[in-house]
Structure 1
Amino acid sequence: MISFIVPAHNEARLIGPTLEALHTAALAAGRRYELIVVDDASDDDTARIAAAAGARVVPVEYRHIAATRNAGARAAAGDTLVFVDADTLVPVGTLRDALDALDGGAAGGGARLQLHGRLRWVQRVVLRFVTWLLRIARIAPGCFVFCTAAAYAASGGFDERYYAGEDVAFSRALARHGRFVVLRAPVSSSARKLRTHSLLDHLRLLAHFARRRRGLLRSRQGLDLWYGERRHEPDHD
């Protein structure tokens, strides 16, 4: 059985299409599945929308993405775990490729990242470079990570020392316990962070990381890109 684990904080606007896409992909794959939405301290309609879409809602109060993902894994009954961000659409073909990789002996993996919504040409060039770099380094973008439940347990799950970058640490941990693949097939995630945070915001984050390295990732302080007030563009996502 596949357990889809969707961490969510105030995602009422985007989580509906994400869950609908997962239903569609799982049904096309012909596998039993469950949807688990880990509602992390939302104060909007995230939980209600998730429940109406057939998901089991696990409420937590962490505001810590690694801990939230791990809470979903603890609640999961499947032998295959698929972690999907609440703003990410998983196509039928991508899920099939992920399941084929696991059936072929892989411990886990990720997919090629696409961003939906308007982007400037410079952002598209940077995205292509980052996507290539992640594939070469065999690191899964955190919006879509899959693994066997056995590999998850052997790796220790997401490292809760980190408030960001936990996807990088998890990818490397899985690779120590088996073959880790980054599929050529894509998932499509929202580009809202690029559009609603300025270039200065991103440069400031890079400067802080250059100065503090991993220390920056060990608290929410300075990580407003992930933990600041949710920003939306009502007309374009």
Structure 2
Amino acid sequence: MPDYSIVIPAFDEELLLPSTIAALREAMNDISLEGEIIVVDNNSSDATAEVASKAGARVVFEPVNRISTARNAGAKVARGEWFVFVDADTRIPVDLLKKALNSLAGGKIGGGGACIRFGPDGKGAHPLMLRLWNWISRFFKLAAGSFIFCLREGFEEVGGFSNKVYAGEEILFSRQYKRWCLRQGLGFQVFPNPPVSTSARKLQWYSPFRLAATFCLFVLCPFLVRSRSFCSFWYDRPKVARDSGRG
């Protein structure tokens, strides 16, 4: 029986998933605890499931195209007592996974996340957005969806991720889970270092205006995260991505 379970929600991620799983395997091989990788094929139209299975991950299918629902589907079949949620376009450093698991094992930290940086495809990207998010993440203790770790017990008691939203589920979860940790006398930690490396592909797909408009829209109207059509930014692949093979 594994000690911890890593859950990866994946929708049309055949291109980036192999490197994500490879980085996780490298990190897991440096840890004495036993772990498992679960990839949730979230109704993909490409070879996501085949790629994940070939890489040695357990694959489960979730037909409802919603990130929070996919995360919950992975947790439902997970066998570990500790959960780690990782995005399909994110690489986890060896030391970060070790730090997260050691924190849970220590009995004083109930969960948390990590700061983020852009991978090689983010070369030339303006750092302001990342710096702002990393400050918000650490100051308010809000985990980015790219890396979240928690206890099974707490995850189940707060009801997992909200199935009512199409985006921002990690923020809602962080708030609920922090309150659960507080009641248990546990901390919620967002590690500044080492950061996870996540894809900057959306900066290539969308114009600065579209990115800024999307950010402002959800800041002013947060209730729109309940609408699939307004959250297309997180689900649709623009034609430029499909044509270039950078999906």
TM-score when normalising by structure 1: 0.93
Q: Secondary structure, in 3 states, of the residue corresponding to 2:30?
A: helix
**Residue 180 of structure 2 is aligned to residue 187 of structure 1:** no
**Residue 141 of structure 2 is aligned to residue 132 of structure 1:** no
1:118 maps to what in 2?
122
Q: Secondary structure, in 3 states, of the residue corresponding to 1:43?
A: coil
Letter in 2 for 1:113: I
Return 5+ residue gaps in structure 1 as ranges: none
Return 5+ residue gaps in structure 2 as ranges: 182-186
Number of aligned residue pairs: 235
Question: Percent identity at matched positions?
Answer: 38
Q: Distance in 1 between matches of 2:139 and 2:219?
A: 22
| Counterpart contact for 2:122–2:201, Cα < 8 Å | no
**Residue 158 of structure 2 is aligned to residue 155 of structure 1:** yes
For 1:109, which of 107, 112, 123 is the aligned residue? Answer: 112
Which shows bigger deviation, 220-229 or 78-87? Answer: 220-229
Letter in 2 for 1:206: F
Change (3 A) 1:119 1:225: farther
Q: Distance in 1 between matches of 2:243 and 2:88?
A: 16
Q: Let me know the Cα RMSD of the aligned residues.
A: 1.8
Which shows bigger deviation, 169-178 or 202-211? Answer: 202-211
Q: Distance in 1 between matches of 2:154 and 2:175?
A: 12
Q: Distance in 2 between matches of 1:23 and 1:229?
A: 28
1:46 to partner: Cα distance: 0.7
Which shows bigger deviation, 201-210 or 83-92? Answer: 201-210
Q: Distance in 2 between matches of 1:148 and 1:61?
A: 26
Change (3 A) 1:161 1:112: same
2:14 maps to what in 1?
12
For 1:196, which of 205, 219, 222 is the aligned residue? Answer: 205
Q: Distance in 1 between matches of 2:20 and 2:65?
A: 21
| Counterpart contact for 1:192–1:232, Cα < 8 Å | no
Q: Secondary structure, in 3 states, of the residue corresponding to 1:187?
A: strand
1:221 maps to what in 2?
229
TM-score when normalising by structure 2: 0.90
1:64 maps to what in 2?
66
1:158 to partner: Cα distance: 0.4
| Counterpart contact for 1:109–1:147, Cα < 8 Å | yes
Change (3 A) 1:68 1:120: same
1:146-177: CA deviation from partner (whole Å, max 9, x where unpaired) = 10111111221001111101000111111011
| Counterpart contact for 2:15–2:246, Cα < 8 Å | no
Letter in 1 for 2:223: G
Q: Distance in 1 between matches of 2:49 and 2:68?
A: 19
1:182-207: CA deviation from partner (whole Å, max 9, x where unpaired) = 01221111011122111121122134
1:88-146: CA deviation from partner (whole Å, max 9, x where unpaired) = 0011100011012112221110011111123435x212211211121111001101101
1:234 to partner: Cα distance: 5.0
1:224 to partner: Cα distance: 2.1
**Residue 90 of structure 2 is aligned to residue 88 of structure 1:** yes
Letter in 2 for 1:195: Q
For 2:215, which of 160, 183, 206 is the aligned residue? Answer: 206
| Counterpart contact for 2:11–2:41, Cα < 8 Å | yes
Q: Distance in 2 between matches of 1:83 and 1:56?
A: 14
1:48 maps to what in 2?
50
Change (3 A) 1:236 1:75: closer
| Counterpart contact for 1:58–1:72, Cα < 8 Å | yes
User: Structure 1: which 4+ aligned runs deviate by more than 4 Å?
Assistant: 232-237
Change (3 A) 1:206 1:107: same
Q: Secondary structure, in 3 states, of the residue corresponding to 1:177?
A: helix
Change (3 A) 1:156 1:202: same
